[in-house]
Amino acid sequence: MAFLAQFIDPQGDLPLQLAVLTVTSSLVVVVLLAGYALIAEQAGRLFDGHRARRRMGYAGGGIMSGGSAVMAVTR
């Protein structure tokens, strides 16, 4: 609510302005969260297969090995 207060006209109808701003911001949040959910669903499908899991394992192992090598060389 503190964010919305800066968009209020002191001479206008305060309850109406607050209602409009609250509904508008709530709709924006709902649309964004729905978008995140759709992206997460697609990512879940993409990373669900055996091949994808194996590649993620190799990538994770490579990152861990690379990080270990960097730490060994720099210390």
Q: Can you read off the two tokens belonging to residue 44?
A: 């879940």
Q: Which residues contact 47 (CB under 8 A, 6 or more apart)?
A: 53, 56
pLDDT tens, residue by residue, 1-21: 577 778 888 898 888 988 998
Q: What is the pLDDT of residue 1?
A: 57
Query: What are the residue ranges spanned by the domains of the chain?
Result: 15-74
Task: Assess contact for 8 and 21: CB atoms under 8 A.
Answer: yes
Confidence tier at 34 by pLDDT (50, 70, 90): very high
Task: Assess contact for 47 and 53: CB atoms under 8 A.
Answer: yes
Cβ neighbours, 10 Å, residue 8: 13
Question: What size, in residues, is the chain?
Answer: 75
Residue 22, pLDDT above cutoff 70: yes
- Kindly state the average pLDDT of the residues 44-62: 92
- Kindly state the average pLDDT of the residues 33-37: 97
